[in-house]
A and B are shown apart, each in its own frame.
Chain A
Amino acid sequence: MKFLSEYRDQKAAEQLAAAIRKKVTRPRTIMEICGGQTHTIVKSGLEDLLPPEITLVHGPGCPVCVTPIELIDKAVAIAKRPDAIFCSFGDMLRVPGSTRSLFDVKAEGTDVRIVYSPLDAVKLAKANPSKQVVFFAVGFETTAPANAMAAWQADHDCVENFSLLVSHVLVPPAMEALLSSDHCVVQGFLAAGHVCTVMGFEEYFPIAAKYKVPIVVTGFEPLDILEGIHMTVCQLEEARHEVENQYTRAVRREGNRPAQQTIAEVFEIAPCQWRGLGEIPASGFQLRGRFQKYDANRRFPFSGEPARESPECISGLILQGIKKPHECPAFAVKCTPENPLGAPMVSSEGACAAYYHYGRRQNVQSELSGTASR
């Protein structure tokens, strides 16, 4: 298939892997920011091709993992209102709140629906004027234009029974938070290609300069990621710390200006809570000015119990890279993809879920090599 098969070609992958092997001289730790990249790495078994010097660390770019538990509780509370139709992207439904997930309350009979576009939620609101239609607007800069467009459309069409429960987070402040931590082990970043499709990559120049860290804007196919790793390794070996663009077929330096304008019209930058990382200044979006009337937070005041994370879940340490998932006592024992205690076990992009499968893979690998050596 055009634009797919050519980025999954085995020969090209082997050539890139050989180039990485040839270039790397010492252990290098590289973080891929985006959950979509993590997904590709796990699904294509990409680490099998890499030399042992390269360690990939899964970054915080999984919206399912970083949406704060308070907001899940709020979503659940709103969904349980008899007049509500609660709309969300699919994989948010399984994320556990303090006591329940959206899936659980759906099973109890509340109207929770999976939508593919926030504009579908606006349509739903028009079709159900007696209902309050609430869309769970989560995600990074990638989903922000569509979510902004939904608010804009609702405003334009005077749809009053529509609102957004917003938890929008931004990549560059999270990178800065990670880099300024004393525990930071990351030596180079694969920046999230789709985020940069919208935002461009100018905002990464000061970060690369300040922290002396290579940042390579990288795509999502196996060959994209291998090439991104190769470019990062070259920078590290040559003691450079620049912003480079691997994903040139989708990303321009200035990004998508009309999309940025739509975001700027509807949202303003605000401090934001990250699950596991805490509050990071200027790291999220909230609705601005005339669009605040679509803020579900204001429309449905929430007076539930204060949120509580499972005391056994150490997802905060895991998202910061301080602990590895398998170092958690609950990992794969009390906490599994069926019964996740924390968000990183939920999505296939989450670090714990990736380790859950990857851990099994390591067992498989050692068994395979054991058989081979006999």
Chain B
Amino acid sequence: MADVKTFNLSCPVPRVADDRIVLAHGGGGRLTHQLIEKIFIPAFANDALEQRHDGAVVSLNGVRLAFTTDSFVVRPLIFPGGNIGDLAVNGTVNDLAMCGARPLYLSAGFILEEGLEMETLRTVVTSMRDAAAKAGVKLVTGDTKVVDKGKGDGVFINTSGIGVVEEFPCLAKSARHGAPTSLEEIRKDGVGIRAVHIGPASVQPGDAVIVSGDLGRHGIAILSVREGLEFESPILSDCANVWPAVEALLSGGIEIHCLRDLTRGGLATTLNEIASDRNVCIKLEEVLVPVNEVVQGACEILGLDPLYVANEGRFAAFVPASQADSALNILKSIEVSQGAVQVGKVEEGPGRTVVLQSRIGGNCVVDMLSGEQLPRIC
């Protein structure tokens, strides 16, 4: 088939940045994607990997299991609103939640640097225990390695997680307006039970794009400590387990098409991934995008765009437009997603594009970044 790329976005001419790993390869932008497409996918290609989702969903004796892994290398280890410990638990729990899976079991691999203070490790481990208890997951296996001083950054943690994709009631499309309030009501409606297929492949034109709360808190919280920036009111990371919000959507009968947590690379990167996977256009309205005033102020000062800043307790949900209001009502009733808003919608074309209608009414393309956002000079 004709390849309609007018511009060669993944430049085939290898230049300086291609002969070594640079930090931008881990930034979640285009270089990260090139790494995945050119090195990892060709090496490991299989059906589950091809889902290109936050985790893989595999069937085992009729049970659908979600499996995911994530590594955490944050500096500083302890930041406003959390530490690497709850981040490591919530990050993996959220990846499972994004598959529509109830998180069940976690593993944890610790890479500790010689000289790390025991007290720091205790703080981190206590946070992991608390976060796991809150999310209702068990940490059932683990591993520890110690590396020479200078070969690590205090603590690196890898967590893997297993969850189960349960069957939830689903409303037939024209069955009713508004979400049912109980399973009883659903049965009365005579609506069936369905297996959930949540993933980029289910996104379609007409879908509403909802974000579960205001954007950019985690990235700015980290940056403020790392760079010694002080704000009038401190910004806390949004680090949290979002499964309660997903569970509420599922049991509320919302036909979720796709869920994505808005971690590295922020909302802009996530939407670009989906727009390009599905060859659709995602239209955002700047006035609708929720950003806390202090976060916005910090972004203005540093020359950063909150659309690209990382979150650790926010996700985007793609749902049919007819269910957008019900989904919003459900999300707003759950603590972790009480700031949910619809920020845009999916349209047919132009494909592989995210367009932002600015506050003043002009349009601009929200592109994927090459690497990390860099603070501008002026």
Q: A interface vs B, CB < 8 Å?
A: 1, 4-5, 8-10, 13-14, 34-36, 39, 42-49, 63-64, 89-94, 96, 99-101, 103-104, 106-108, 114, 116, 120, 138-140, 142-143, 194, 222-223, 226, 332-334, 336-339, 347-349, 356-357, 359-361, 363-365, 367-368, 371
0/1 interface trace, chain B 23-54, chain A, CB 8 Å (1 if under): 11000001100100000000000000000000
* Cβ-closest chain A residue relative to B378: A142
A9→B357 CA distance, assembly (Å): 13
Verify A48–B376 contact, CB threshold 8 A: no
Contact with B377, one of A63, A104, A359, A363 (Cβ below 8 angstroms): A63
Verify B374–A114 contact, CB threshold 8 A: yes
A101→B10 CA distance, assembly (Å): 20
Given A35-B378, A63-B377, A91-B377, CB of A339 within 8 Å of CB of B13? yes
Verify B360–A44 contact, CB threshold 8 A: yes
**What chain A residues lie within 8 Å of B371 (beta carbons)?**
94
How many chain B residues touch A (CB < 8 A): the figure is 51
**What chain B residues lie within 8 Å of A35 (beta carbons)?**
378
* Stretch with Cβ within 8 A of A (4 or more), from B14-22, B74-82, B208-216, B233-241: B14-22
* Cβ-closest chain B residue relative to A34: B378
Verify B377–A92 contact, CB threshold 8 A: yes
**What chain A residues lie within 8 Å of B376 (beta carbons)?**
36, 39, 89-91, 347-349
Verify A90–B31 contact, CB threshold 8 A: no
Contact with A45, one of B8, B20, B358 (Cβ below 8 angstroms): B358
CB within 8 Å of A: which of B295-313?
Answer: 296-297, 300, 302, 305
Verify A338–B359 contact, CB threshold 8 A: no
The 7 A-B pairs with the shortest beta carbon distances in the complex, nearest first, are: A45-B362, A90-B374, A13-B360, A48-B362, A90-B375, A367-B350, A8-B359
State whether the Cβ of B88 lies closer than 8 Å to any Cβ in chain A: no
A100→B363 CA distance, assembly (Å): 35
CB within 8 Å of A: which of B221-276?
Answer: 227-229
A348→B377 CA distance, assembly (Å): 11
Contact with A47, one of B6, B357, B362 (Cβ below 8 angstroms): B362
Contact with B16, one of A1, A104, A357 (Cβ below 8 angstroms): A104
**What chain B residues lie within 8 Å of A63 (beta carbons)?**
377-378
* Cβ-closest chain B residue relative to A337: B370
Verify B7–A107 contact, CB threshold 8 A: no
Verify B20–A104 contact, CB threshold 8 A: yes
